[in-house]
Chain A
Amino acid sequence: MKEPFKIIASGEGGQGVLSIAKIIAYAAWQQGFHTIYVPYFSTEKRGGVSVAFAQIWDKPIPFPKFHKADLWVALSQRAVDRIYDYLHDDTVTIVNSFLVKDVTRIKKWKPYEIDATTIAKEQLGKPRTFNMVIMGAMLKFVPGLSQEGFAKALEKTFKDKYERDASLRELNEQAFNIGHDLVK
Chain B
Amino acid sequence: MSEKKFIMGNEVMGRAARAAGAKALYGYPITPSSEILHFWSGEACGEQGRKEGLVFRQAEDETGAGFMLIGGVLAGARSFTATAGPGHVLMQDAFSMAEAMRIPVVAFITQRGGPSTSTVIYSQSEVNLTCFGGNGNGFRVVYSPSNLQELFDYGIKIFNTAWKYRFPTFLLADGYLAKMMGEVEVYDPAEKGIKMVPTEAYMLEKDRKRPLSEVVPTPEIDIREDGGRQYECLRNCLNLEEETYAVNMEIKEAFDKAAPEIVEHEDYGPQDAKTLVVAHGLVSSAVRAAVDALAEGQDKIRLFRPITLRPFPEEALRQAARGAERIIIAESAVNQLARFVKESLYGHCDTALEEYFRPSMGILPKEIIDLVTKA
Q: Which residues of A contact B (CB under 8 A)?
A: 22, 25-26, 29-30, 34-43, 60-67
Contacts and interface: CB of A to CB of B under 8 A. Distances in A.
Given A38-B181, A42-B121, 19 more contacts: A26-B6, A29-B6, A29-B182, A34-B182, A37-B181, A37-B182, A38-B176, A41-B31, A60-B147, A63-B285, A63-B286, A63-B362, A63-B364, A63-B365, A64-B180, A64-B282, A65-B176, A65-B364, A67-B364
Contact of B363 (A26, A30, A39, A63): A63
Chain B binding surface SS class: mixed
Given A29-B6, A41-B31, A42-B119, A62 B365 contact: yes
B21 to A, nearest CB: 29
A64 B362 CA distance: 9
Given A41-B120, A43-B120, A62 B289 contact: yes
Nearest to A26: B6
Contact of A37 (B175, B180, B288, B365): B180
A41 B32 contact: yes
Nearest to A36: B182
B183 interface: yes
Nearest to B31: A41
Interface string B74-86: 0000000000000
Contacts of A37: 180-182
A25 B181 contact: yes
Nearest to B32: A41
B364 A66 contact: yes
B285 A41 contact: no
6 contacts: A34-B183, A41-B120, A41-B121, A60-B147, A62-B285, A63-B286
Nearest to A54: B181
Interface string B359-371: 0001111000000
